[in-house]
């Protein structure tokens, strides 16, 4: 099987722990469900991600150095 | 990057200049451009460097999006206006190699509509190490990708008298396309097996001559067998009808072979030996989504839309507009189209949906289901003639008088009655 994370189109995906998720939600003043979504069967997802988890994505941005976004794992 | 790294990278940038530039509220990219400018000018005084940094920061902060700015509307117009200058229909061999790709407006529409398959699917296949440098090895990959049908391998003749189809395979072609074999007979027997499996007939093979016919003499069945024979894929990927091999120069001066394919099967190609699975891409955003996930799909949408605009000389469209479009399209974890079946069709407001397309249907459905409209968006408020909730339209002004003499000067002003 091909290692998806090595592809240049795929940014780094990391699983956030509960504490970090709280910080993120507080910072943006949003609910979990307001975040953009990512499907559980997404090939770029870390293996142990479950629906309800929040994934931190660090993109190589075209307009700045790094852009950090978050996605909520859904079914 | 630390100050030291900056100083060592640029000849005319010293620690003092770096100290002026680094604390500014700018991205690394912009700081890099400041240093590059100083470098191009062959050094500036510390004072000048300070002025440059100050000016860049001021300009940067000024161009940031204000609260309540209607970014979506601005993006729509910023993409829409150049779109009017695009060619309505371009079907010529432009861009890469001799592969015909849809360009201009049709391609842009296809992207934002998120069509399941593009009009002209195409892949750019990069090769790994040795394969990228050696033409023979690169060709091996080509044969594994390009679908090989019987007409490419030899001649077919139909003998109506004996009710047989004869396939006369070309020895050289066989060995060329199956480089791992050194006996054309072995290849021919494999081809015969493939034919038997696909058509359900018995074959006879003599050297590279394959013969078969219908079980019972039937002229119709014979012709049918020939038709079916032409469609069998003996090697390669069925979806890929043609592969063009090109030698390309990299930025660092090295050369490598790159393959361009007509037709796309991204998943199959990634696992072929010799293919660099970290750079190969497809112009089918759905295939990218399936193989690499939603984030890669987002990147692909941005790349494809930007390239489409660039090809038409419209690359002064700011990439942020395209990034916004891609963000919206990939927001729910799948690729959603802009338009009736996607984003515009899933808006909360009945009036906003009705204003877009198929007005009567939306109003009728909403009436049947007793839907309500909260009048939060832009379109519905334009329709009912209320101020829209963007820019100054979303700011409430409260009037009242403050009695400074009052003991509690910090109390909030009471709104007046008017």
Question: What 3-state DSSP class applies to B286?
Answer: helix
Task: Looking at the complex, report in whole angstroms how far the Cα of residue A20 sits from the nearest Cα belonging to chain B.
Answer: 21
Boundary of a domain, candidates B210, B231, B252 = B231
Residue B403 belongs to some domain of the structure: yes
Given this model, what pLDDT does residue B412 score? 55
DSSP annotation of B165: E
Residue B401 belongs to some domain of the structure: yes
Residue B327 belongs to some domain of the structure: no
> What is the helix (H) or strand (E) element at residue B278, kind and residue range?
none
Low-confidence spans in chain A with pLDDT less than 50: none
Of the candidates A23, A75, A20, A22, the one whose C-alpha atom is nearest the C-alpha of residue A49 is: A75
Distance CA B146, CA B235 (A): 8
Q: Which fold has domain A4-74?
A: Eukaryotic RPB6 RNA polymerase subunit (3.90.940)
Distance CA B273, CA B269 (A): 9
B79-98 pLDDT tens trace: 999 888 887 665 555 555 57
CB count within 10 Å of CB B348 equals: 13
Strands (E), B213-275: 242-249, 255-262
Distance CA B135, CA B204 (A): 36
Given this model, what pLDDT does residue B392 score? 85
Boundary of a domain, candidates B182, B200, B231 = B231
Residues in chain B closer than 8 A to A8 (CB atoms)? 278-279
Given this model, what pLDDT does residue A21 score? 92
> What is the helix (H) or strand (E) element at residue B13, kind and residue range?
none
Buried b / exposed e over B197-214, threshold 16 CB at 10 Å, is eebebebebeebebbbbb
B227: domain range? 148-231
Residue B218 · residue B188 · CB < 8 Å: no
Its pTM stands at 0.82
Given this model, what pLDDT does residue B415 score? 53
Question: What 3-state DSSP class applies to B127?
Answer: strand
Residue B155 belongs to some domain of the structure: yes
Given this model, what pLDDT does residue B158 score? 84
Residue B292 to residue A43, Cβ atoms within 8 A: yes
Nearest to B294 among A1, A7, A38 (CB): A38
Q: How many CB pairs under 8 A join A and B?
A: 80
Given this model, what pLDDT does residue B171 score? 80
Strands (E), B103-234: 122-126, 154-159, 164-169, 203-206, 209-212
Residue B210 belongs to some domain of the structure: yes
Given this model, what pLDDT does residue A13 score? 93
Name the residue ranges covered by the structural domains of chain A.
4-74
* DSSP per position, B180-200: T-S-HHHHHHHHHHHHHHHH-
Given this model, what pLDDT does residue B3 score? 59
Low-confidence spans in chain B with pLDDT less than 70: 1-4, 88-97, 403-418
Q: How far apart are the first and last CA of chain A?
A: 23
Boundary of a domain, candidates B201, B231, B261 = B231
Residue A57 to residue B295, Cβ atoms within 8 A: yes
Given this model, what pLDDT does residue B407 score? 52
Alpha carbon A75 to its chain centroid, in Å, reads: 15
Sheet (strand A37-39) strand order: A12-15, A54-60, A66-74, A37-39
Using alpha carbons only, what angle is made at residue B100 by residues B176 and B245, rounded to the nearest 5 degrees?
A: 30
Given this model, what pLDDT does residue B227 score? 86
Nearest to A43 among B293, B299, B330 (CB): B293
In total, how many domains does chain B have? 3
CATH number at residue B168: 3.30.1360
Q: What sign does the dihedral B228-B233-B238-B244 (CA atoms) show?
A: negative
Distance CA B226, CA B158 (A): 8
**What ipTM describes this predicted complex?**
0.94
């Amino acid at each position: 099987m091909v290692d998806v994370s090595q592809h240049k189109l795929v940014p780094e995906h990391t699983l956030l722990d509960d504490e970090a998720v709280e910080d993120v939600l507080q910072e943006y003043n949003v609910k979990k469900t307001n975040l953009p979504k990512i499907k559980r069967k997404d090939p770029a997802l870390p293996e142990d991600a479950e629906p309800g988890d929040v994934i931190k994505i660090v993109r190589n941005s075209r307009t700045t150095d790094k852009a950090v976004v978050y996605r909520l794992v859904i079914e | 990057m630390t100050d030291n790294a900056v100083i060592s990278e640029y000849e005319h940038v010293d620690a003092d200049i770096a100290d002026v530039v680094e604390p500014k509220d700018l991205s690394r990219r912009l700081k890099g451009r400041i240093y590059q400018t100083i470098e191009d000018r062959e050094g500036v005084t510390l004072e000048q460097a300070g002025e440059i940094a100050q000016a860049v920061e001021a300009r940067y902060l000024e161009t940031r999006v204000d609260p309540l700015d209607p970014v979506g509307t601005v993006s729509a117009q910023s993409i829409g206006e150049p779109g009017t200058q695009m060619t309505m229909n371009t079907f010529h061999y432009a861009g890469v190699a001799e592969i015909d790709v849809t360009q201009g407006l049709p391609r842009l529409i296809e992207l934002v509509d998120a069509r399941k398959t593009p009009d002209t699917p195409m892949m750019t296949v990069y090769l790994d190490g040795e394969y990228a440098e050696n033409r023979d090895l690169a060709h091996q990959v080509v044969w594994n990708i390009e679908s090989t049908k019987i007409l490419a391998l030899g001649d077919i003749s139909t003998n109506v008298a004996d009710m047989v189809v004869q396939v006369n395979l070309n020895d050289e072609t066989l060995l060329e396309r199956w480089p791992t074999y050194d006996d054309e007979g072995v290849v021919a027997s494999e081809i015969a097996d493939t034919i038997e499996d696909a058509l359900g007939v018995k074959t006879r093979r003599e050297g590279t001559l394959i013969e078969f016919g219908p079980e019972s003499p039937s002229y119709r069945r014979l012709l049918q067998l020939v038709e079916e024979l032409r469609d069998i894929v003996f090697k390669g990927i069925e979806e890929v009808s043609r592969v063009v091999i090109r030698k390309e120069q990299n930025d660092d001066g090295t050369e490598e072979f790159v393959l361009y394919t007509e037709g796309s099967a991204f998943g199959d190609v990634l696992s072929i030996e010799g293919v660099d699975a970290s750079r190969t891409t497809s112009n089918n955003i759905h295939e990218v989504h399936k193989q690499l996930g939603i984030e890669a799909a987002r990147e692909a949408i941005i790349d494809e839309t930007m390239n489409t605009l660039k090809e038409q000389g419209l690359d002064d469209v700011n990439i942020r507009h395209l990034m916004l479009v891609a963000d919206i399209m990939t927001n729910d974890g799948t690729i959603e189209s802009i338009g009736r079946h996607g984003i515009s069709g899933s808006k909360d407001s009945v009036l906003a949906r009705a204003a877009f397309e198929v007005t009567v249907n939306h109003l009728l459905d909403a009436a049947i289901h007793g839907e309500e409209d909260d009048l939060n968006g832009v379109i519905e408020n334009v329709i009912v003639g209320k101020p829209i909730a963007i820019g100054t339209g979303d700011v409430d002004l409260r009037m009242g008088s403050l009695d400074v003499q009052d003991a509690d000067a910090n109390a909030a002003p009471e709104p007046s009655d008017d």
